């Protein structure tokens, strides 16, 4: 295989990985877009586990999506600082609904879709406002 072929093959492999991994392609849009996609991946995991009948895994992923990802990656504090307590309360209510639905072994599609939409919109605003990775507004 020639050097050009190897280089082209390597570029195609990297392009394929970026296209296949939403958090990598979204991260190019900004820090919070990437964080949102990590949270959403866990929400998706909860939804998929519920569809598969793996109720314990669905409930665990629903809980982890909030505590390990939304809070753990500072998105909660970023939203509180930049978007206000009312917005955080609205988003937290969606996480609560996701967890409640998972505990009831109910369909998660509707609440998961609402949560994905909210997280992506908020991430876009956080990136536009240049909120730092620590969750605080830059220059404040």
* 3-58: pLDDT as tens digits: 434 343 433 333 333 333 444 334 446 999 999 999 999 999 999 999 999 999 99
pLDDT digits (tens, 9 = 90+) for 75-86: 999 999 999 999
* SS3 state at 40: helix
User: 0.85 cut: is pTM over it?
Assistant: no
Tell me what pLDDT residue 137 has: 77
Tell me what pLDDT residue 139 has: 57
pLDDT digits (tens, 9 = 90+) for 117-137: 999 999 999 999 999 998 887
Gyration radius of the chain over CA positions: 17
Confidence of residue 63 (pLDDT cuts 50, 70, 90): very high
Sequence-ordered list of residues with C-beta below 8 angstroms from that of 105, at least 6 positions apart, any chain: 50, 55, 58
Mean pLDDT value across the chain: 84
Residue with token string 């280089």: 7
What are the residue boundaries of the structural domains of the chain, listed by start? 23-128
Confidence of residue 102 (pLDDT cuts 50, 70, 90): very high
């Amino acid at each position: 295989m020639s050097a050009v072929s190897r280089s082209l093959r390597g570029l195609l492999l990297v392009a394929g990985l970026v296209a296949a991994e939403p958090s990598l392609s979204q991260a190019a849009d900004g820090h919070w877009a990437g964080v949102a996609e990590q949270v959403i991946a866990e929400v998706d995991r909860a939804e998929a586990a519920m569809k598969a009948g793996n109720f314990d895994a669905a409930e665990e992923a629903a809980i982890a999506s909030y505590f390990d990802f939304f809070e753990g990656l500072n998105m909660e504090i970023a939203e509180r600082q930049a978007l206000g307590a009312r917005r955080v309360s609205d988003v937290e209510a969606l996480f609560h609904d996701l967890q409640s639905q998972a505990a009831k072994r109910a369909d998660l599609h509707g609440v998961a879709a609402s949560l994905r939409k909210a997280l992506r919109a908020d991430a876009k605003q956080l990136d536009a406002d240049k909120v730092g990775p620590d969750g605080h507004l830059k220059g404040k």
